[in-house]
Amino acid sequence: MVVLLLCLPLLRSLTRTMLLRIFDSGLLVCQSVPWCGDRIYNPLEQCCEDDTILPLNRTRLCGPNCIYWPCFELCCPESFSPQKKFVVRLKVLGVKSQCHSAPISRDCGR
């Protein structure tokens, strides 16, 4: 914890990458962690969506009838017609996902 506090002010001014020290049999190993807005998060348990840290198992409604996983999917309204419908699309890991190019996961209907 003390080591963590020592790392923070020194390195934060230089880059946005924070180094954590992991103790393993006396060997200090630094590892970068991801940022979400101005906070760090654990990518094994959380994701960063719209500068908000979410647990990986968080679900939300996409339209009135559909549940989706914001960490892995996009909620995309499909049209402006009276038959407005929502489509859930897969996020492509490692790239900035967009509604018009992401593969469809499910059609939520209206």
Residue closer to another protein by CB (options 2, 56) is 56
Nearer CB in complex with another protein: 26/103:
103
Q: How far is the CB of 98 from another protein (least distance, A)?
A: 5
Q: Which residues bind another protein (CB under 8 A)?
A: 16-17, 32-38, 43-44, 47-54, 56, 60-64, 69-72, 74-80, 84, 86-87, 90-106
Q: How many CB atoms sit inside 10 A of residue 82's CB? A: 6
Q: Evaluate whether 55 touches 45 at the Cβ level (below 8 Å).
A: yes
